[in-house]
Amino acid sequence: MNLHELPMIIFTVLAQLSVGAFVALGVINLFGIPRFGRDTIERVTDPAIYAIGPTLVFGLIASMFHMNDVTNVLNVVRNWDTSWLSREIIFGVGFAGLGFLFAIMQWFKIGTHAVRQIIAGAAAVVGLALVYSMSMIYATLVTVPAWNTWAVPFQFFATTFLLGALAVGAAILIHMSLRFKATGAPVDTPAPSGGSVGLLEKTRTQAATMARTPLKATSKDAQAGVTIVRWVSVASVVIGVAIFIGYIFHVLNLANGVAEAQLAAQEYESGFFLVRLALLGIAAILLSVFTFKTANQEFKSPNTMMILMVSALALATVSEFMGRSIHYDTLFRVGM
């Protein structure tokens, strides 16, 4: 493990996870609302929103330790018109701010649904720009053959969508499993409302009601959750296979390149890399396929699905940390 670059490994992976989760939630809302209704989709997906912000903030803080003096961040931002690093910082702060704003608006139901979706869409676009900026910091270094290639943006976006999808699936299943065990009012009971109830009190009541609300196997919420989990599983398999294929072409390209590229190719022959692939295979393919088969419209085994999806997320995250470590290990400069 490349401990010297650990702050950047943590930052890039967690930031990409956050962006991927936000994009995944956007896709779920886009296709889920017409089928299941806005209230159902929001009950199922809202808990995942509030985990994105803290994850990104933790990653941003970790990245600061990569600098000898954190006050240099202000100097870096000044070069936004020529530096991909400056753009990365700007887009990172912008994504965190817009994501936080959307989470607050969604939690307290501030503004119309259309306005909240515009904010969410803007956050997703800025987040994708953040990932692209991250990748271009490395892909534009012509003196590093292993980085100056299409493989870097491909790998960064693959990490984004894989971990994002799994994170959303895990968050949804954790929340639904807790609701499945709960006792109380029927699942679709609306939160109390009334002119004399303040916004904060209404929100607290709504959150408490949802946490205590049992999830019936035949409810619309369960059907929506199962459908989402199925598509998350399919997406994970597709992305996992794409990562495997991408590595084949990337390593072959390096092996046929200059001496520094061939040195980088040797990093992909290590046992560390093979373990990374093994974890990725288990997480993105085997567990996801099993989760897909386990999911059913009766929602009889929420705990099993939750354990599978959380395990898949954990293994995939470790695998992506290892993959990012190998990325930094391939730093062989031409002529140096």
- Residues 36, 223: contact at Cβ < 8 Å? yes
pLDDT band at 116 (very low <50, low <70, confident <90, very high): very high
CB < 8 Å & 24+ apart, contacts of 29-37: 29/117, 29/120, 32/224, 32/227, 32/228, 35/224, 35/227, 36/220, 36/223, 36/224, 36/227, 37/220
Q: What is the mean pLDDT of residues 245-249?
A: 97
Nearest to 9 by CA among 278, 281, 318, 316: 318
Quote the pLDDT of residue 115: 94
Q: How far is Cα 156 from Cα 135, in angstroms, rounded to an integer?
A: 6
Chain mean pLDDT for the chain: 82
* Residue 170 neighbours by CB distance under 10 Å: 25
State how far the alpha carbon of 272 is from the alpha carbons of 88, 186, 245, 319, in Å.
Answer: 29, 50, 18, 10
| Phi, psi for residue 184 in degrees, rounded to 5 | 155, -145
| Phi, psi for residue 97 in degrees, rounded to 5 | -65, -45
The residue that leads in pLDDT, 102 or 251, is 251
pLDDT in tens, 294-305: 766 455 667 778
pLDDT in tens, 133-160: 999 999 999 999 999 999 999 999 999 9
Nearest to 5 by CA among 46, 63, 50: 63
Instruction: Answer yes or no: is pLDDT of 207 > 70.
Output: no
Checking phi first, is residue 244 left (phi over 0); if not, alpha (psi -120 to 50) or beta? alpha
Instruction: Answer yes or no: is pLDDT of 187 > 50.
Output: no
| Phi, psi for residue 294 in degrees, rounded to 5 | -70, -35
Percent of the chain with pLDDT over 70: 79
pTM, rounded to two decimals:
0.85
Angle, CA 15 vertex, CA 33 and CA 36 arms, to 5°: 10
Instruction: Answer yes or no: is pLDDT of 244 > 80.
Output: yes
Q: What is the mean pLDDT of residues 187-211?
A: 45
Output the six-digit token pair for 117.
């979706």
* Residue 43 neighbours by CB distance under 10 Å: 25
